[in-house]
Amino acid sequence: MKTQAEIVVLGAGIAGLCAARLLHEAGREVLVVARELGEASRVPDALLNPVRGKRGTVALEAEEALEALWDFYPRFTPVRQGILRPVPESDRAVWRQKLQGRRVPHLWLEEGLYLENAGWLETTPLLHRLAEGLNILYANVERLEASTLWLEDGRRVSGRVLVYAGGASGAHLLGLGGRFTPGSVLLTQQHFKQARSYGVYVAGHSLGGSYLPHQDRYSPHQTQPHEVEWLLSEAERLLGYRPGWSSSWAGVRYRLDKDYLKPIPGGFALTGFGSAAYFYAPLYARRLLKRLTGHS
Ligand X SMILES: Cc1cc2nc3c(=O)[nH]c(=O)nc-3n(C[C@H](O)[C@H](O)[C@H](O)COP(=O)(O)OP(=O)(O)OC[C@H]3O[C@@H](n4cnc5c(N)ncnc54)[C@H](O)[C@@H]3O)c2cc1C
Residues that bind ligand X (CB under 6 A): 11-16, 34-36, 38-41, 43, 46-47, 140-141, 165-170, 173, 183-185, 208, 210, 251-253, 271, 273, 275-279
Check the CA dihedral 173-176-179-185 and report its sign: negative
Helix (H, G, I), strand (E, B) or coil at 139: coil
Q: How far is the CB of 15 from ligand X (least distance, A)?
A: 4
Q: How far is the CB of 190 from ligand X (least distance, A)?
A: 18
Number of Cα atoms under 13 Å in the Cβ half of residue 108:
11
Nearer to ligand X, 157 or 161 (CB): 157
Residue 46: which of 247, 280, 289 has the closest Cα? 280
Nearer to ligand X, 178 or 251 (CB): 251
Nearer to ligand X, 89 or 216 (CB): 216
Nearer to ligand X, 96 or 215 (CB): 215
CA distance 38 to 284: 17
Q: Please say whether the beta carbons of 50 and 198 come within 8 A.
A: no
Q: How far is the CB of 90 from ligand X (least distance, A)?
A: 26
DSSP state of 59: P
Q: How far is the CB of 153 from ligand X (least distance, A)?
A: 12
Q: How far is the CB of 248 from ligand X (least distance, A)?
A: 10
The CA distances from residue 146 to 204, 245, 266, 290, in Å, are 41, 45, 4, 21
Residues 6+ apart with CB under 8 A from 18: 72, 130, 281, 282, 284, 285
Residues 6+ apart with CB under 8 A from 196: 83, 84, 85, 86, 202, 203, 238, 239
Q: Please say whether the beta carbons of 31 and 155 come within 8 A.
A: no
Nearer to ligand X, 114 or 150 (CB): 150
Nearer to ligand X, 15 or 289 (CB): 15
Q: How far is the CB of 47 from ligand X (least distance, A)?
A: 4
The radius of gyration computed from the CA coordinates of the chain, to the nearest angstrom, equals 19
The CA distances from residue 113 to 43, 77, 104, 106, 108, in Å, are 25, 26, 12, 7, 5
Nearer to ligand X, 122 or 161 (CB): 122
The helix-helix angle for 123-131 and 14-25 (nearest 10°) equals: 40
Q: How far is the CB of 143 from ligand X (least distance, A)?
A: 9
Q: How far is the CB of 73 from ligand X (least distance, A)?
A: 11
Nearer to ligand X, 251 or 266 (CB): 251
